[in-house]
Amino acid sequence: MENIIKSIDADSPLRGHAHEGDRLLSINGKKILDVLDYKFYAYDERLNVKLQKPDGSEYEITVRKAEGGDLGLDFESYLMDAPRSCANNCVFCFIDQLPKGMRKTMYFKDDDARLSFLMGNYITLTNLSPREIQRIIDLHISPVNVSVHTTDPQLRTLMLQNKRAGESIDIMRRFAENGIVMNCQIVCCPGLNDGEQLMRSMGDLAAMYPGVNSVSIVPVGLTKFREGLYPLTPFTKEHAAETIDMVEAFADECLQKHGSRIFFCGDELYLKAERELPEDEYYESYTQLENGVGMLRLIETEFKSALMLSDEPDAVSFSIATGVSAAPYFQRLLDFAKEKYPGLNGRVYPIVNDFFGHSINVAGLVTGGDLIAQLKGKELGERLFISQNMLRRDEQDFLDDVTLEQASEALGLPIYPLESDGFELCDAICGILPEIKTPCRSESDGEYYKYNQN
C-alpha cells in the first residue's frame, strides 16, 4: 500500500487532525486500497476516517463535508498503489516498435483499470482479478475504455499473446449485464482481425449495446523498427476503402436498430482510402475523439464557426506544421480562411516521419528532429503552429527528447503548440496566441512550470 498522506488541502475537514506521513486505512469501515476506494467511499457527507501514524498507532476522526466534495487528501502516489503494467505482448504493440535509447517512460505499458476510469486510458481486461471485476460492478465504475481488437477468443489469445485474453469477452458481457458502459477500440490488422473477423466482432459487440456505447476501428501503425516482430502489413488504399464500406454499412444497421451507429472508423482510415470524412452529424456525440475518430471533421466545423465571428487578422506571417496525412485538411482550412481574408499570409508544411518510418504519417508522432530538419531554411514567417499532441504535455518535449525551446531556437522563431480545437486554430492564425508553457527548474523549488503570455 502506498496510501500515505503527502499533503492536506487547506480546506480539508481533516486539516489540523490528520498529519502528513500518516496512512489512510479506512473510511466508514471500508478498507482503502487505492484511489478508486478513496474517491468512492469519501463521497458521503459524514465520514469516519481511520488513520495510522508512522509509529504504527491508529486513530479515528469523524468529519462532515459537502456530499460529493473532496476530502482534501493528497497522497505520495496518485493511484495510492503501483501502476499496473500490461501482461500482454500484442502483435501490433506500438511500444515494441520503438527504437532503443528513448526515455524509460516510453517503454512502460500500462493496463490499469483505474487509469481507464480516471484518465480515459484503454485496457485489455486481461489482468483484472475476480475482486477487481466485482468492485467495478459494485462501485459502478463507468465508463471503462476497453481495447477489444477481436471477440474471437482464440484469435484474441493470438493477437494479445496472453492465454487469458479470450476470457475478457465474457467479462465485457458481465459488465454490460450490470450496467457498466464501455467504449471500445479495435486496432485493425490486415489479414488478422479484418474482414469476416471484424464482422464477427462488430456483431458480438453490438449485442452488448447499450453496455458497449461506442467502438472505434483504427488501422494498425507500423514503424520501421519491426525486426523480429510478428509479420504485419499496412492498409492499402483499396483495403481501407473496403473496411470503411463494411463498417459504415453495419453502423447504418445499428442506427436503425439502436438509434446509434456505435461503430466508427478512425480518420486515418479515410485518409488512407483518400475519401472525404463524414459530415459533422455522422459522429453523433464524438465519443471516440481520443482515438482520432472525427477529430479532423470537428476541427473543421469549429474552425468555420470561429471564422464567421473573427475580426480582421493581424499582418504577421505564419506557418503550420503537421503530419503528412492531415496536411491537406489544414491547407483546405487555410484556403477557406483566405477566401474571407485574402491578405492572410500563411503556409502549411507536411512533415515526413523519417524517425519512425514513412508509413507513420500522423501529427502526434512527429519528432523534433524531423521538424527541424525539414523546416530549416524554409519560409516560415514569424510564427510556427504545431499540434500539442506532438509534445509531452508537462515537459513540452517531443518523442525524441528535443524540447520545444530547442526547436524554436533551431528554427529561429516562436513555436506555438495548439490543441485539437478549431476555435484555437482560428484565433492563432488571426493573431490571438495561446500561452506557451515552458518547463523551468529551480534548485530551491524543484521543477515547476512557468507560463509566458506571448
Q: pLDDT of 184-207, one tens digit each?
A: 999 999 999 999 999 999 999 999
Q: Please tell me the pTM assigned to this model.
A: 0.82
pLDDT at 449: 30
Q: Parallel, antiparallel, or unpaired for β 383-387 and 415-418?
A: parallel
Task: List, in sequence order, every beta strand (DSSP E) within 324-423.
Answer: 346-351, 383-387, 415-418
Alpha carbons 69 and 377: distance in angstroms, whole number:
54
Say if CB 315 and CB 285 are below 8 A apart: no
Give the CATH fold of the 5-75 domain: Pdz3 Domain (2.30.42)
Alpha carbons 236 and 10: distance in angstroms, whole number:
58
- The per-residue pLDDT for range 165-178, each reduced to its tens digit, is 999 999 999 999 99
CA distances from 337 to 277, 282, 308, 315 (A): 20, 24, 10, 14
CA 191 to chain centre: 27
pLDDT at 442: 36
Give the CATH fold of the 297-452 domain: Rossmann fold (3.40.50)
The more confident residue out of 78 and 202 is 202
End-to-end CA distance of the chain: 44
Q: Parallel, antiparallel, or unpaired for β 58-64 and 46-52?
A: antiparallel
Mean pLDDT of 318-344: 95
Mean per-residue pLDDT of the chain: 89
- The per-residue pLDDT for range 116-172, each reduced to its tens digit, is 555 567 888 888 889 889 988 988 888 999 999 999 999 999 999 999 999 999 999
Alpha carbons 243 and 192: distance in angstroms, whole number:
13
On the question of pLDDT at 351 being above 80, the answer is: yes
Q: Which of 79-83, 317-321, 334-338 has the lowest mean pLDDT?
A: 79-83
Tell me the percentage of the chain whose pLDDT exceeds 70: 91
Q: Which of 118-127, 150-159, 386-395, 421-430 has the lowest mean pLDDT?
A: 118-127
Alpha carbons 8 and 10: distance in angstroms, whole number:
6
| Helix, strand, coil share (%) of the chain residues, nearest 5 | 35, 20, 45
CA distances from 99 to 221, 263, 287 (A): 15, 33, 32
* CB neighbour list of residue 417: distance below 8 Å, 6 or more residues apart: 385, 386, 387, 388, 390, 391, 396, 404, 434, 436
- The per-residue pLDDT for range 212-265, each reduced to its tens digit, is 999 999 999 999 999 889 999 999 999 999 999 999 999 999 999 999 999 999
Say if CB 164 and CB 126 are below 8 A apart: yes
Mean pLDDT of 273-284: 96
On the question of pLDDT at 303 being above 90, the answer is: yes
Alpha carbons 293 and 330: distance in angstroms, whole number:
17
User: At 430, phi and psi to the nearest 5?
Assistant: -90, 0
Domain boundaries, the chain: 5-75, 95-293, 297-452
> What type of residue sits at position 32?
I
| Three-class DSSP category at 53 | coil
pLDDT at 446: 33
Mean pLDDT of 4-32: 90
Say if CB 414 and CB 452 are below 8 A apart: no
Say if CB 321 and CB 428 are below 8 A apart: no
On the question of pLDDT at 331 being above 90, the answer is: yes
On the question of pLDDT at 441 being above 60, the answer is: no
User: Following DSSP, what letter does each residue of 424-451 receive, concatenated?
Assistant: HHHHHHTT-PPPEEEEEEETTTEEEEEE
Superfamily of domain 95-293 in the CATH hierarchy: pyruvate-formate lyase- activating enzyme (3.80.30.10)
The more confident residue out of 308 and 33 is 308
Mean pLDDT of 269-295: 95
pLDDT at 141: 84
Count of CB atoms within 10 A of residue 7's CB? 12
The more confident residue out of 140 and 109 is 140
Alpha carbons 166 and 227: distance in angstroms, whole number:
27
> What type of residue sits at position 321?
A
Runs of H (alpha helix) within 127-211: 130-138, 153-160, 168-177, 195-206
On the question of pLDDT at 315 being above 90, the answer is: no
* CB neighbour list of residue 233: distance below 8 Å, 6 or more residues apart: 190, 191
Alpha carbons 172 and 182: distance in angstroms, whole number:
8
